[in-house]
Amino acid sequence: MKSMRRFAALCAVFCIGNPLTAAAATTLYERLGGAPGVHAIADTLIDRAAADPVMGRSFADVNLGRVKRLLAEQICELSGGPCHYTGSPMREAHAGLHISQAEFYDLVATLQHVLEERRVPLGARNQLLGLLAPMKRDVLGADAPAP
């Protein structure tokens, strides 16, 4: 009886503290920091990419404020937030830029750093990258004729 009570107490502590249970209770959007978090992620990522000697070429003369706003919308929508992405499809947005595989992975690595700096939990980081990864085909293949 005593051991049963101890188990119940342990279970209560463990179950409430279980990160998997906590993760299921909040959306990815919330774990990214909600609207302020998502905007900060988009702003920092675009600022760093635009300042990068290699990636920066794709942002020359580009209205960065618009790109940040649309990227924030896109991450918000993908992560289950209350947004609707109003930008162009990825293939059209990247047409003519001839993005290389190296540039794509540079951007992924930059995003990883931004998420780590903002102390986004590992599970949330991986979940976001998993949602963005399928865009690689359209970003790199933007200059091929549309399928």
Contact window for another protein (CB under 8 A) among 7-15, 28-36, 95-103, 118-126? 95-103
If one asks whether residue 3 binds another protein (CB under 8 A), the answer comes out as: no
- Cα–Cα distance, 83 to 35 (Å, whole number): 10
Task: Please return the burial class of 63, using the count of CB atoms within 10 Å of its CB with bins 0-12, 13-18 and 19+.
Answer: exposed
Out of 13, 116, 117, 143, the residue judged to bind another protein by CB under 8 A:
143
Closest CA to 99 of 139, 62, 146: 139
If one asks whether residue 100 binds another protein (CB under 8 A), the answer comes out as no
Q: Contact at 8 Å (CB) between 135 and 92?
A: no
116 binds another protein (CB under 8 A): no
Applying CB under 8 A, among 93, 131, 132, 135 the residue interacting with another protein is: 93
Q: Is 86 in the site for another protein (CB under 8 A)?
A: no
User: Is residue 38 a contact partner of residue 75, using CB atoms and an 8 Å limit?
Assistant: yes
Residue 147 binds another protein (CB under 8 A): no
